[in-house]
Amino acid sequence: MRQVLQNPRLYNASKTMLHGLISVDCASDPKLVKLRIGVSNVDYVFLYDYVFPGYLAYGIIAITSDYFGQFFYVEVPAEARSEERTLVKDIEFYRSDDFKISFSGLGPVTRLLSTALWAAYRLAPQVPLQLYKALAIRVIQAYIDENPLPI
């Protein structure tokens, strides 16, 4: 089965900065090291291609923000070359200036969906942020699974 969401990419990654200290918890679980990594991005642009089966619809999902701050919670195996996976457990947001999720490709339908998500962000910011969170965890976890961390 072909995936609907394809080819994730991040632009302006060179403007990414660590935010605060990286916290490390080795005591709560002897097999895992729990990391909390704060990251901030200026002029954040995250793109996905979407293609529905049979090319019924296709286009780009663009996630943008003027300043985007996130905390990543990652569990890393305590032993080097362990059989356990590195897992992205959660993402928390501490700042999201002018956050937008927009769609292209279907004319009025995507404009309507983009406007609805913009309005949702203005009324209840957690709705589009949770959509982004699901997409971001999926991409980061797939990247870590394909390119193991050199630990």
Contact 17, 40 (CB under 8 A): yes
Domain boundaries, the chain: 5-146
- CA distances to 49, 72, 78, 95, 139 from 52, rounded to whole Å, are 10, 30, 40, 32, 19
- pTM value? 0.81
Q: Which whole number is the average pLDDT over 6-32?
A: 90
pLDDT at 5 over 70: yes
In this prediction, residue 150 has a pLDDT band, given cuts at 50, 70 and 90, of low
More confident residue, 55 or 134: 134
pLDDT at 1 over 60: no
Percent of the chain whose predicted confidence (pLDDT) is above 70? 97
pLDDT at 97 over 50: yes
